[in-house]
Amino acid sequence: GEDVEQSLFLSVREGDSSVINCTYTDSSSTYLYWYKQEPGAGLQLLTYIFSNMDMKQDQRLTVLLNKKDKHLSLRIADTQTGDSAIYFCAESRWGTNAGKSTFGDGTTLTVKP
Amino acid sequence: NAGVTQTPKFQVLKTGQSMTLQCAQDMNHNSMYWYRQDPGMGLRLIYYSASEGTTDKGEVPNGYNVSRLNKREFSLRLESAAPSQTSVYFCASSTTSGTPNTGELFFGEGSRLTVL
């Protein structure tokens, strides 16, 4: 079945760039997502990328997609302490229920002052 | 805007007890989902409802039942709770309309369940 993998922890200094990586196995994935979860809260969509795109930029966030290697990354520029959270990579397939996403285990980002 | 509302937020059960987690959304979304989140295991789909009147099993449905009461509400029932069901449960919803339909999930704040 589908599988999404990501490293569990990342620690950076405030002001540095953070890069969170993700690999997935389903070649039929249509949308790939990054969700953010703050302590004690539900997940919120941070950004998404359609499978026919290589890159998407949104303010401090840059998403890179290598479809050949099934590799997705999220870069956060000028990381702030408020960016400390768990970041989930997820994928879904077009043509089926688009909201039925498969999630990775989450990467806990710690930003040190 | 309330979004997705789950109740209760916290619950402690004894093994064998039953309970129902309630979820309601006010965004007129067609699809609703129940996920569980366990440490180091990400989110796993328990059941989903693509539209009012339909429900389907997800990845980990054993020990659970669901009811799509109407378009707004989707409940999750544990008939005989087990310690392995100790988890954080998230309800989510999404729309199947709009262009593009990105499949974005809107999550509730979670229900933390402990089974002793």
**Who among A43, A48, A99 is closest to B94 (CB)?**
A99
Chain B residue with minimum CA distance to A6: B42
* Residues forming beta bridges with residue B47, ordered by sequence position: B34, B57
Chain B positions touching A100 (Cβ under 8 A) are: 33, 45, 48, 58, 103
**Whether B103 and A103 lie within 8 Å, measured CB to CB:** no
- At residue A1 the predicted structure's pLDDT band, cuts being 50, 70 and 90, is low
Handedness of CA A81, A85, A91, A94 (dihedral sign): negative
Query: Residues near B63 by Cβ (< 8 Å), separated by ≥ 6?
Result: B78, B79, B80, B82, B84, B85
Q: What is the mean pLDDT of residues A83-95?
A: 86
- CA atoms of A12 and A7, how far apart (whole Å): 14
* Residues forming beta bridges with residue A113, ordered by sequence position: none
Strand B106-107 versus strand A43-50 pairing type: unpaired
Instruction: Measure in Å the smallest separation between the Cα of A73 and chain B Cα atoms.
Output: 18
pLDDT of residue B99: 67
**Who among B31, B90, B109 is closest to A99 (CB)?**
B31
**Whether B4 and A42 lie within 8 Å, measured CB to CB:** yes
Chain B positions touching A103 (Cβ under 8 A) are: 35, 42-44
Instruction: Measure in Å the smallest separation between the Cα of A31 and chain B Cα atoms.
Output: 7
- CA atoms of A92 and A75, how far apart (whole Å): 21
User: pLDDT tens across A23-35, in order?
Assistant: 998 877 788 999 9
Q: What is the mean pLDDT of residues B82-87?
A: 97
Structure tokens at A52: 């026919």
Please, where are the H alpha helices in A1-113?
none
Q: Does the pLDDT value for residue B77 go beyond 70? A: yes
User: pLDDT tens across B1-59, in order?
Assistant: 679 999 999 999 999 999 999 999 999 999 999 999 998 778 999 999 988 889 999 99
> What would the DSSP string read from start to end of B71-90?
SSBEEEEESS--GGG-EEEE
**Who among B42, B45, B58 is closest to A105 (CB)?**
B42
Q: What is the mean pLDDT of residues B82-101?
A: 87
User: pLDDT tens across A28-66, in order?
Assistant: 778 899 999 998 889 999 999 988 899 999 999 999 999
Structure tokens at A84: 């400390």
